[in-house]
């Protein structure tokens, strides 16, 4: 049938099973928005307050569902406003298709109004970046974009369409999407056998879980594997929920703000099995001494991650779930009773701890975990509150923590929460933010109220840039250069002005009733939680130090 380019865009979205897009219209993309209006019963469009909010919402939708998230923006500044969200998705391997429109073909390359080479701008932060100049190329390009976004190691793809291609007409034939199953073609049989031999002879094995286990949906295979190996399990920030955080084998997060149990145990282990993690500097602060007493087996779908940050002994290249399936089939059940007992005792000796006498971020998160029974979807911004959310909420399931791990994007969480709540309207969705992060994209509260998306925005308000201040306290001689936010902004009034219900918490006794009421309301809520400016995230490993150099507040006091 003969369709114009805008009709083809909508038909291709429907082909791919897209039911929700997030975006902001403008002149160059008006033809597509006009067609979107005609299909609003089939594809829901969430109008965000800023294009960055649209990209984060598409990201949150994708992380929560495992499907490809879609965002749209017009040319020029509309497109460039997507860039931070695209980079966020790229760093964390999130499948996303960003659709932008550019000036007409006759105006391209002439520095026309709102013209920019967004395909060139986005090239380093996408899996692929397209510009469509001919309507005949539009359907094949969109289909390829979705395929690239979700195949192998997922990631964002940009499709920029010149305006003339959205109005030109060509022949369109519907196609069913081809979902490519990942294969284990690159999995070496020799390396599988070597890995099994290492696992069978290890006395103190440990399993380290990263975001690849979440992406591959490997939670059941991972649970079976941990039981067969009889090993403690730790995770990265991105790996949260791939292994049940309430399981007795779980020892907490690894790395800069990991638990002492996880960090100390790793440095004692003789075999580290890495499941879908890339050894970022937040985990391996000192790559030369990381797990120095252990052999390392790394399972990853991306061969480029092998030996990139930490040298490993054996690599198993392939989809994590499929690789674990192979290992589970070959392995007999092992027993490491003494090692597991040693780790269990360490969990008791060096637990996570905070001041229970006053209102703190950890206390609020523990209460939230208790009230929601660990079943909520938690989004976060970036900073102290993010680490507390990783430490004190017990993630039982994958895709329940949405956080910017690689890029560390302040302003990410609220948009992501909106995306997740759009996908799962019956689930409790909470964004945990600091006051500095909330300021970045707080205008998305208006998006939540406009579209009646009942997210809960939990702001840990310490009137400072908390994590930066923590570093200034510990490493910069308490020189608080431009990190104090002690101004006159009232978040409760601000939230109410945007149409949300708002509360303020100043003491522990208020936490439980207000959280319960906020969850029961079923409307957008902002909760302003006043905590101390000098609360810190502990334990901590200083940059460049070994994991067994982790220190907490008591260690600092003992040094004085």
Q: How many CB atoms lie within 10 A of CB 286?
A: 16
**Which of 60, 49, 51, 41 has its CA nearest to residue 448?**
49
What's the CA gap between 21 and 209, in Å, rounded?
A: 31
Q: In Å, what is the CA distance from 380 to each residue of 295, 365, 390? A: 34, 12, 9
Q: How many percent of the chain have pLDDT more than 90?
A: 94
Please give the Cα distance from 341 to 334 (Å, whole number).
15
Is 240 annotated as catalytic?
no
Q: What are the tens digits of pLDDT across the range 49-80?
A: 999 999 999 999 999 999 999 999 999 999 99
**Mean local confidence (pLDDT), 213-234:** 98
Residue 159 sits at φ, ψ, to 5 deg, of -120, 110
Catalytic residue among 7, 127, 130, 163: 163
Set 256, 267, 410, 467: catalytic member = 467
Global pTM value = 0.97
Q: Is the pLDDT of residue 186 over 90?
A: no
What is the phi-psi region of residue 208: left when phi exceeds 0, alpha when psi lies from -120 to 50, beta otherwise? beta
Write down the pLDDT at residue 201: 98
Mean pLDDT of 269-295: 95
For 378, list phi and psi in degrees, rounded to 5: -110, 120
Q: Which two tokens stand for residue 476?
A: 């910069």
| The predicted structure's pLDDT at residue 525 | 98
Q: How far apart are CA 392 and CA 386, in angstroms?
A: 10
* pLDDT above 80 (res 183): no
Structure tokens at 87: 């980079």
Please give the pLDDT value at position 556.
Answer: 87
C-alpha distance from residue 179 to each of 15, 16, 147, 150 (Å)? 12, 10, 7, 9
Which residues, in sequence order, are bridge partners of residue 529?
Answer: 460, 505
Catalytic, out of 113, 303, 370, 516: 113
Which of these is catalytic: 11, 35, 51, 381? 51
Q: Which of 14, 15, 114, 512 is catalytic?
A: 114
Whether 48 shows a pLDDT value over 90: the answer reads: yes
Q: Specify the pLDDT at position 559.
A: 82
pLDDT band with cut points at 50, 70 and 90 for residue 180: confident
User: Is it the case that residue 138 has pLDDT exceeding 90?
Assistant: yes
In sequence order, what are the beta bridge partners of 402?
379
pLDDT, mean of residues 501-524:
98
Identify whether 472 is a catalytic site residue. Answer: no
- Name the average pLDDT for the chain: 97
pLDDT for 359? 98
Is residue 325 within 8 A of residue 221, CB to CB? The reply is yes
For range 311-332, the mean pLDDT: 97
Enumerate domains of the chain plus CATH numbers: 2-171 (3.40.50.970), 189-349 (3.40.50.1220), 361-537 (3.40.50.970)
Q: How confident is the model at residue 184 (pLDDT cuts 50, 70, 90)?
A: confident
pLDDT in tens, 421-446: 999 999 999 999 999 999 999 999 99
- Cα first-last separation, the chain: 79
Confidence of residue 131 (pLDDT cuts 50, 70, 90): very high
Given this model, what pLDDT does residue 557 score? 85
Q: Once rounded to an integer, what is the mean pLDDT over residues 372-387?
A: 98
Active site residue 467: yes
Per-residue pLDDT reduced to its tens digit, 240-266: 999 999 999 999 999 999 999 999 999
Quote the CA–CA distance of 166 and 295 in Å, as a whole number.
56
In the predicted structure, residue 310 carries a pLDDT above the cut 90: yes
Instruction: Quote the DSSP letter at residue 551.
Output: B
In this predicted structure, what is the pLDDT of residue 185?
A: 78
Nearest to 160 by CA among 90, 88, 103, 96: 103
Beta bridge partners of 47: 23
Q: Average pLDDT for residues 214-243, to the nearest whole number?
A: 98
What is the predicted pLDDT for the residue at 178?
Answer: 78
Structure tokens of 138? 């539009």
pLDDT score, position 487: 84
Percentage of the chain surpassing pLDDT 70?
100
Q: Which residues pair with 44 in a beta bridge?
A: 20
Under the banding of pLDDT at 50, 70 and 90, the label for residue 486 is confident
């Amino acid at each position: 049938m003969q369709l114009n380019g805008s009709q083809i865009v909508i038909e291709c979205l429907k082909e791919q099973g897209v039911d929700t897009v997030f975006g902001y219209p403008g002149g160059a993309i008006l033809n597509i928005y006009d067609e979107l209006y005609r299909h609003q019963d089939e594809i829901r469009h969430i109008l965000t307050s800023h294009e960055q909010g649209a990209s984060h919402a598409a990201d949150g939708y994708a992380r929560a569902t495992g499907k490809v998230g879609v965002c749209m923006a017009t040319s020029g500044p509309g497109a460039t406003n997507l860039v931070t969200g695209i980079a966020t998705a790229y760093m964390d391997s999130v499948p996303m298709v960003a659709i932008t429109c550019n000036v007409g073909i006759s105006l391209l390359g002439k520095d026309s109004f709102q013209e920019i080479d967004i395909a060139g701008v986005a090239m380093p932060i996408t899996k692929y970046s397209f510009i469509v100049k001919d309507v005949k190329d539009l359907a094949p390009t969109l289909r390829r974009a979705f395929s690239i976004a979700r195949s192998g190691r997922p990631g964002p793809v940009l499709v920029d369409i010149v305006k003339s291609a959205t109005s030109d007409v060509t022949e369109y034939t519907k196609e069913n999407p081809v979902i490519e199953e990942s294969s284990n073609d690159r999995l070496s049989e020799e390396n599988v056998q070597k890995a099994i031999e290492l696992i069978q002879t290890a006395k103190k094995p440990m399993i380290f879980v990263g975001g690849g286990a979440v992406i591959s949906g490997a939670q059941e295979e991972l649970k079976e594997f941990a039981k067969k190996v009889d090993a403690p399990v730790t995770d990265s920030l991105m790996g949260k929920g791939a292994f049940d955080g309430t399981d007795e084998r779980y020892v907490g997060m690894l790395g800069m703000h990991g638990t002492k149990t996880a960090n100390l145990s790793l440095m004692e282990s003789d075999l580290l099995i890495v499941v879908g993690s890339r050894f970022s500097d937040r985990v391996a602060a000192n790559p030369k001494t990381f797990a120095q007493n252990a052999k390392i087996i790394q399972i990853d779908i991306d061969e480029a991650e092998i030996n990139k940050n930490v040298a490993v002994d054996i690599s198993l290249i392939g989809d994590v779930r499929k690789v674990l399936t192979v290992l589970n089939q070959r392995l007999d059940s092992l027993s490491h009773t003494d090692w597991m007992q040693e780790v269990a005792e360490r969990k008791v000796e060096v637990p996570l701890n905070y001041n229970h006498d006053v209102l703190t971020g950890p206390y609020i998160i523990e209460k939230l975990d208790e009230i929601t029974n660990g079943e909520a979807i938690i989004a976060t911004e970036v900073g102290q509150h993010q680490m507390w959310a990783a430490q004190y909420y017990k993630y039982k399931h994958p895709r329940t923590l949405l956080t910017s791990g690689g890029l560390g994007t302040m302003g990410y969480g609220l948009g992501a929460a909106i995306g997740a709540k759009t996908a799962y309207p019956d689930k409790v969705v909470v964004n945990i933010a600091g006051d500095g992060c909330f300021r970045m994209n707080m205008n998305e509260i208006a998006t939540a109220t406009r579209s009646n998306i009942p997210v809960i925005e939990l702001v840990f308000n310490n009137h400072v840039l908390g994590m930066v201040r923590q570093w200034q306290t510990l490493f910069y001689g308490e020189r608080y250069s431009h990190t104090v936010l002690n101004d006159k902004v009232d978040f409760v009034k601000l939230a109410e002005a945007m149409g949300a219900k708002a509360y303020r918490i100043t003491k522990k006794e208020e936490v439980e009733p207000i959280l319960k009421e906020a969850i029961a309301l079923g409307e957008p809520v902002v909760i302003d939680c006043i905590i101390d400016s000098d609360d810190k995230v502990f334990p901590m490993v200083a940059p460049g130090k070994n994991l067994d150099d982790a220190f907490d507040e008591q260690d600092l006091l003992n040094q004085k």
